[in-house]
Amino acid sequence: MKRLDFGDVAQLARAPALQAGGRGFESHRLHNMSSVVLLLSCRDKVGIVAGVSGWIASIGGNIIDAQQHTDAEDGVFFQRVSFTPPSGVNLDGLEQQFAVIAGQFGLDYQFCSLPHRPRTAILVSKHLHCLSDLLSRTHLGDLSIDVQLVISNHSDAEGISSMYGKPFVHLPVGTSDGERAEQEQQLASLLSSSSLELVILARYMLVLPQSVVAQWSAKMINIHHSFLPSFVGANPYRQAHDRGVKLIGATAHYVSENLDEGPIIAQDVVRVTHRDNVKELNRRGRDLETVVLANAVRAHVEHRILVMGNRTVVFE
């Protein structure tokens, strides 16, 4: 798989969308789905669970799994219900039929199909462990994403991208403000023209401008070490070593306009001791980052996340 130029890859990424009958990434809304996920939230009130389950039964659906949560402080109810739909029904039809129940209870809701394999771009810089892990899990069928592009401001990721047969786009950054702005414009254009449903920042070390982030609300996932804000900037594991920390961690979150402050999807920590040098902290940190990022992406593609302001409800 050769490296693609900016213009070539935009044309390549559009081709599958045209083959899908003009609907592009919305093709998953058609009836070739094994199950449907209904995500909803509303002010908590009596009768929601009964109303939703009764409606599913009335259309001939069969509930596979149902989970709910009530935020007592804010009085908000959340629910995720997966069910097998009646034959010949697509998501648009379900949404129309559900409108009466939604209006009765004041529901914010979304129907999603499973299996779901979103068209995905992965952004990466020089640290390749998260990219390598995502491509490996996808290749083995352990992670349901359709990687369309690997984009980087460095050339280091070209080899691993080629090994997995993924198009690689090198968008280097110059030293001047004008060159940086040009690179950001190219990136924004590439993402918007590729019929993508998900963007993953797999240790992409450049700050994205708000004009890019705003287009990918709840569809762009980032991974970073959990030391922020305690250890800001370069070499966090060196800073952690110098402070003698006993825990290191990683956080995956949706990207928001406020850097590293978006809704958190997944976190984890591992204990360390004074015996762990900087090299060992980096190794253990890399291991943790790959697992946390994969868990966050899996929760997203399985439609297990509801966003509430700057928080998330993540169903198991």
- Which residues are tagged catalytic? 260
Write the burial class of residue 157 (CB in 10 Å: 0-12 exposed, 13-18 middle, 19+ buried).
Answer: buried
Q: Answer yes or no: are the C-beta atoms of 161 and 151 closer than 8 Å.
A: no
Q: Answer yes or no: are the C-beta atoms of 205 and 154 closer than 8 Å.
A: no
Residue 142 bridge partners (DSSP): none
Cα–Cα distance measured from residue 89 to residue 38, given in angstroms and rounded to the nearest whole number? 14
Q: Answer yes or no: are the C-beta atoms of 123 and 152 closer than 8 Å.
A: yes
| Extended beta strands in 72-212, E state | 76-84, 108-114, 119-124, 146-152, 168-170, 198-201
Write the burial class of residue 93 (CB in 10 Å: 0-12 exposed, 13-18 middle, 19+ buried).
Answer: middle
List Cβ neighbours of 43 (8 Å cut-off, separation of 6 or more): 75, 76, 77, 106
Helix axes 48-58, 91-105, angle to 10 degrees: 150
Q: Answer yes or no: are the C-beta atoms of 301 and 145 closer than 8 Å.
A: yes
Q: Answer yes or no: are the C-beta atoms of 287 and 132 closer than 8 Å.
A: no
Q: Which helix (H) or strand (E) holds 68?
A: strand 62-71
| Torsion of Cα atoms, 240 then 241 then 245 then 248, to 10° | 60
Altogether, the residues listed in the chain come to a count of: 316
